[in-house]
Each structure stands twice: as C-alpha cells, then as structure tokens.
Amino acid sequence: MVEISYNISVRELRAYWEKVHNLADGERIGVYPRECMPSWTGLCDELPWETYTLDGGYFSAKHHGFRGVYRLFALENAGDLKSAPTFRRLGGDDPTGTLYIGEAGDLAKRLNQARRSARSHRREDSHGAISAMRQIPKLNFPIEKIGVALMYTDRLTRMIERDLLYSYINTFGDSPPLNYKI
C-alpha cells in the first residue's frame, strides 16, 4: 500500500470543487484521495462560512434557501460565535467545537429543522443530529450555545460534505461527535 504524505491546500480544494462544478456532461476528472484533504482548522478558517447562532431566529428562504453545507458547533458562551470550546478527539484537540457536518438542498429548511429540534420547549425530531445530541448528556448543549456555519455550494453538496468529513477524520482520527452516519 502506498502512503500519501501530502495535503492539498484549501485554495486547491476550492479550485477542484469549481472544476467539478463546471464539468460538461460525460467529462471526467480525477479525485483527490481522502488522505490529501486540508486540515480541518484550515477549512474552518479559510472557507467562506457565514456564522449564526441557532437560536438567532428563522432562516428565511430568501436569504438562506440555497444548496450548501453546514456545520453545527458548540459555544462556550451563549451567543458568542467566537467562543467554541476545544473538544478532545482521538487524534488531537478540535478547537472549533464541531458537533456535526451536514449538507442540504435547501439550507433554510434544514437549519430551521435543526433550530426547531433544538428548542428546549419543543421535542421535534426532524434533525437527527440534534436528536442524538439530546441523548448524550455531555453534548446536550442548550440552543443558545449552538452555532451554525454555512457555506453555499451550488450543486455539489454531497461531494463537498464528504470532503469536509474526510478532512475532519484525517485531522482528528474520528468523525464529529454527532455524525453517526458517514
């Protein structure tokens, strides 16, 4: 077995996503091996994420009703998007407080499901990650201590989600705590 010993940069990964997006029907392109993904913290720092608190109100279709990927992350201080706690992971410490990485054809719809599921006064189970979080006492964060970062991605949501998960796994040796299905 050949061991891959290099990582692509965040810029190279974004250029690759753009190339794949622009492929003509029937046109093919090589795939980066999962071992080559950039570091997770690099992706969190360099990708164009929009961040919100999950309890910040309704995600409107006009502003957020697009395809994309998102990550749910814990907050040390309620409402403070810069206060992510560090989680100890198998392969190192995750300073981003990442709980879950997901994708959606309609971010507004999916994030509103997460928001409704996370409300303490309602027990809606429309978002599996929030339902799983409720069952793990050490991860049962109140809604005001959950942030969401989203990124619009055109039509490649599943591929980009997969690359983000590979990056997380490569960096920390396991998946985010609430990504129980990969």
Confidence at residue 3, expressed as pLDDT on a 0 to 100 scale: 53
Q: List phi, psi (to 5°) of 92.
A: 145, 180
What are the residue ranges spanned by the domains of the chain? 10-172
What's this model's pTM, rounded to 2 decimal places?
Answer: 0.91
Could you give the C-alpha distances from 139 to 43, 77, 118, 142, 167, in angstroms and in order?
23, 15, 12, 9, 22
Q: Which residues of the chain have a pLDDT value below 50?
A: 1, 4
Burial class (CB in 10 A: 0-12, 13-18, 19+), 64: buried
- Length of the chain, please? 182
For the stretch 75-125, pLDDT in tens is 999 999 999 999 999 999 999 999 999 999 999 999 999 988 888 656 677
Provide the H-helix boundaries in the chain.
Answer: 10-21, 40-46, 61-64, 107-118, 128-134, 157-172
